[in-house]
């Protein structure tokens, strides 16, 4: 089996591919209005070429991100074409869920394996504050979660960015989602990147606050970059993702490609290399070269500020 390794011996098998930087939400920690005046989508041809080249290097897991990937009208066609590529062992997507309900069945039929659902609050008024969303963008998340499970998607993960003063009073409510649902709720520390550099000063809270609120949680070990916990008799799990307080760079197995076709080997690094217009073979060689130059770690714990020149909406979650 082909393996892609960086200069520190880490196996890199995971590509987060942003197919658009457009989004119907404007989350306070993600969206940057100044940047988002120039919206970009990767073409289907570029997507397929990038995935083929990545697989040829040793990548076997593909996650489609945005922006909001379900904004793309051709999302089903994108998934179908990616799943036809020999070597793609898992295709997943990260979404805010707004357009998801009516797409569940066709996405499942297209070959999509997994869904990560970004939910920062279970209250519509708080969602509006976090996402600058009007009432028309509200989502019935309990109903959506039930529909995702009934549709046959496995290992549903819910991603919740911890925001002091916004949603930390809902920690128990999120943990309760794991009571009768076989899913993982993952609490993610706010990262000082893009518009959240200033937000970080007032809204950052250590992920261990979850353990203080729910002291009954018992550790299970690691799942990738997530520390897993579980409540007795609950079906699902709780994950803590701590990029600031307990950085997990030593476990990093991923690279990112933005919707304007630039490789980022570190989310918080400033280095970007364009592969737009390159042949499949040239993309493959560029990926190999950039992975060898992948830095060992970020410096968020020291600088409290990302080196990335982009906000999250233009990188992909």
The two counts, helices (H) then strands (E), for the chain are: 10, 12
Determine the average pLDDT of the residues in 234-243.
97
The CATH number for 60's domain is: 3.20.20.70
pLDDT of 3 reads: 82
pLDDT at 39: 81
Q: Which residues pair with 181 in a beta bridge?
A: none
For residues 154 and 147, give the distance between their C-alpha atoms in angstroms, rounded to a whole number: 12
Residue 5 has pLDDT above 70, yes or no: yes
Distance CA 121, CA 117 (A): 12
**Interval 153-181 mean pLDDT:** 97
Residue 143 Cα distances to 7, 85, 294, angstroms? 45, 33, 41
To the nearest whole percent, how much of the chain has pLDDT over 70?
A: 97
* Contact between residue 156 and residue 117 where contact means Cβ atoms under 8 Å apart: yes
pLDDT at 236 over 80: yes
The 10s digit of each residue's pLDDT in 62-78 is 999 999 999 999 999 99
Report the distance separating Cα 79 and Cα 93, nearest Å: 10
**The predicted structure's pLDDT at residue 136:** 64
Give how many domains the chain has, as a whole number.
Answer: 1
pLDDT of residue 309: 80
Distances (CA, A) of 270 to 132, 189, 246, 253, 305: 28, 21, 21, 18, 12
Token pair, residue 134, equals 């009007």
Q: How many CB atoms lie within 10 A of CB 199?
A: 17
The answer to the question of residue 9 being in a domain is: no
Cα 246–chain centre separation = 18
pLDDT of 138 reads 73
Say how many C-beta atoms besides its own lie within 10 A of residue 173's C-beta: 13
Q: Within a domain: residue 5?
A: no
Residue 8 falls inside a structural domain: no
Let me know if residue 304 belongs to a domain: yes
For range 270-295, the mean pLDDT:
96
Range of the domain at 62: 14-314
The whole-number pLDDT of residue 84 equals 98
On average, the pLDDT of the chain sits at 93
pLDDT of residue 31: 87
The reported pLDDT for the residue numbered 164 is: 98
Tens digits of residue pLDDT in 76-97: 999 999 999 999 999 999 999 9
Q: What is the DSSP string of 125-155?
A: HHHHHHH---GGG---HHHHHHHHHHTT--S
Mean local confidence (pLDDT), 41-58: 97
Instruction: Give the pairing of strands 156-161 and 183-188.
Output: parallel
Residue 135 has pLDDT above 60, yes or no: no
Minimal CA–CA distance to 193: which of 112, 312, 303?
312
Q: For residue 35, tell me if it sits in a domain.
A: yes
Q: Report the distance separating Cα 176 and Cα 112, nearest Å.
A: 27
- The residue with greater pLDDT, 124 or 210, is 210
Q: And the tokens for 85? A: 């590529």
CA–CA separation, 44 and 269 (whole Å): 27
What pTM, to 2 d.p., does this model score?
Answer: 0.95
Cα three-residue angle 152-259-302, rounded to 5 degrees: 95
Domain membership of residue 284 (yes or no) is yes
**Does 255 fall in a domain?**
yes
């Amino acid at each position: 089996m082909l393996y892609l390794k960086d200069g520190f011996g880490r196996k890199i098998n995971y590509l987060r591919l942003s197919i658009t930087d457009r989004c119907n939400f404007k989350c306070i920690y993600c969206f940057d209005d100044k940047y988002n005046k120039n919206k970009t989508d990767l073409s289907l041809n570029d997507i397929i070429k990038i995935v083929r080249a990545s697989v040829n290097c040793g990548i076997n897991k593909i996650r489609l991100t945005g922006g909001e990937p379900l904004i793309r009208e051709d999302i089903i066609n994108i998934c179908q074409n990616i799943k036809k590529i020999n070597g793609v062992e898992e295709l997943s997507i990260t979404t805010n869920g707004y357009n998801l309900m009516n797409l569940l069945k066709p996405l499942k039929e297209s070959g999509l394996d997994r869904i990560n659902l970004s939910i920062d609050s279970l209250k519509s008024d708080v969602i509006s504050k976090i996402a600058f969303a009007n009432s028309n963008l509200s989502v019935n998340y309990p109903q959506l979660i039930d529909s995702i499970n009934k549709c046959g998607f496995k290992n549903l993960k819910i991603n919740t960015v911890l925001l002091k003063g916004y949603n930390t009073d809902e920690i128990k409510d999120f943990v309760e989602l794991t009571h009768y649902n076989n899913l993982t709720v993952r609490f993610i520390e706010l990262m000082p990147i893009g518009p959240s550099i200033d937000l970080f000063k007032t809204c950052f809270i250590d992920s261990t606050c979850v353990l203080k609120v729910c002291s009954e949680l018992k550790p299970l070990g690691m799942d990738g970059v997530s520390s897993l916990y579980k409540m007795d008799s609950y079906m699902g799990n709780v994950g803590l993702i701590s990029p600031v307080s307990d950085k997990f760079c030593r476990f990093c197995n991923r690279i990112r490609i933005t919707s304007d076709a630039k490789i980022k080997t570190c989310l918080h690094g400033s280095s970007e290399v364009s592969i737009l217009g390159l042949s499949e073979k040239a993309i493959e060689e560029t990926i190999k070269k950039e992975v060898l130059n992948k830095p060992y770690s970020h410096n968020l714990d020291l600088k409290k500020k990302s080196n990335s020149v982009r906000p999250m909406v233009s990188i992909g979650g």
